Amino acid sequence: MGLAAVESNNGHEVEESTYQRGVKHLCEGGIERVPRKYVFPVSERPHLGTERSDVCCGGNRNLKLPVIDFAQLQGSNRSQVLEHLADACEEYGFFQLVNHGIPSQVIEGMRSVGRRFFELPYEERCKYMNLDMRSPVRCGTSFNQNKDQILCWRDFLKLSCHSLPQHLPSWPSNPSDLREVAANYSLKTKFLYLKLMEAILESLGVKEIAPKSMEDQENDWMAKDLENGSQIVMVNCYPACPEPDLTLGMPPHSDYGMLTLLLQDESVQGLQIHHGGRWVTVEPIPNSFVVNAGDHLEIFSNGRFKSVLHRVLVNSSSTRISFASLHSLSLDSTVRPLPKLIDEANPRRYKDTDFASFLNYISSVGHKGKNFLDTRKLT
């Protein structure tokens, strides 16, 4: 990366290499305007004035997602909740999960350690900065800082979680409790993910994820592949932005994997999904997860469940921190439409794919919208 100065901000020259150090580092320098490198084209900017006035005037720019009660999913109302789950995945690609059973101290511990990591001096955070998207532990910025022509207003800490014994020693040791707290959080969210996938498979007509005998080889394969799948915990930091109407925390995109479990910032809104032809803000529900289908689940369900475009807004007054637990099959596993969902009326709609192909694609092309999934479509 060259060190040539590319623009002036507050009277100070801003070097290209500065952007690779992250938005937090940029803000710590006291900027008062958004550098050109972060300014989106007018057509892609959030229209914050219009959207906020709609909310104030009682419009429906805010969206209450379908709510799935995890406790009821495990009880006598399971069949009814499964119907609601399938409807949510078909219509929205998103739902809010309540009564999920993860203790509040686990969640609050993760919130605390995530905030404290990004409050560390730059010299500590930069120990984990690199440009290798395959790195199991990485502190980075933007969406894909290798390919983004316009950077987005986001820093992140990426923690690969499977398997924990393999990756835990390389996780940050500062804050001192990060490894213990994040490992516990990853185990709890992995369990929750497996239970949700069990329900999703059942809603798709696969009755059991754990077969009672070895005769059902397909179910046995799915159980093992889900258990051994990839899990990445992303701690996302969106610093307060001096001109939030010019940029985005994350641009429109779909997630690559099976499911993402997002722990929102309950005090600062920012997540928007594309629904009904426009962008709507997801209202946080206390002590809940926002769960969304990824590209792999769309492929797996042969298009019945949709991965949906979403983006993140930033604001001028508050830093927003969220925690995304992204779950997919293992790097070398093949994702294909479930054979039981293919017939004459519902022909196969997607090619086989795998996680490695996704990484290769975004490393060479970048990731925008649902461009990777579009390369997998047959019809």
Distance CA 85, CA 93 (A): 10
Place of tokens 């290769």: 360
Distance CA 310, CA 281 (A): 10
Q: Is the pLDDT of residue 368 over 90?
A: no
Res. 376 pLDDT band, cuts 50 70 90: confident
Q: Percent of the chain scored above 70 by pLDDT?
A: 86
Pick from 38-52, 65-79, 95-109, 331-345: least confident: 38-52
The residue count of the chain comes to: 379
pLDDT digits (tens, 9 = 90+) for 151-166: 999 999 999 999 999 9
- For residue 55, the model assigns a pLDDT of 36
Q: Which amino acid makes up residue 213? A: S
Res. 373 pLDDT band, cuts 50 70 90: confident
Q: Is the pLDDT of residue 6 over 50?
A: no
- For residue 98, the model assigns a pLDDT of 97
What is the rounded average pLDDT for all residues in the chain?
A: 86
Contact residues for 217 (Cβ-Cβ < 8 A; gap 6+) = none
In this prediction the pTM is 0.89
- For residue 188, the model assigns a pLDDT of 98
Q: How many CA atoms lie within 13 A of 105 on its CB side?
A: 1
pLDDT digits (tens, 9 = 90+) for 186-222: 999 999 999 999 999 999 987 644 444 444 555 566 7
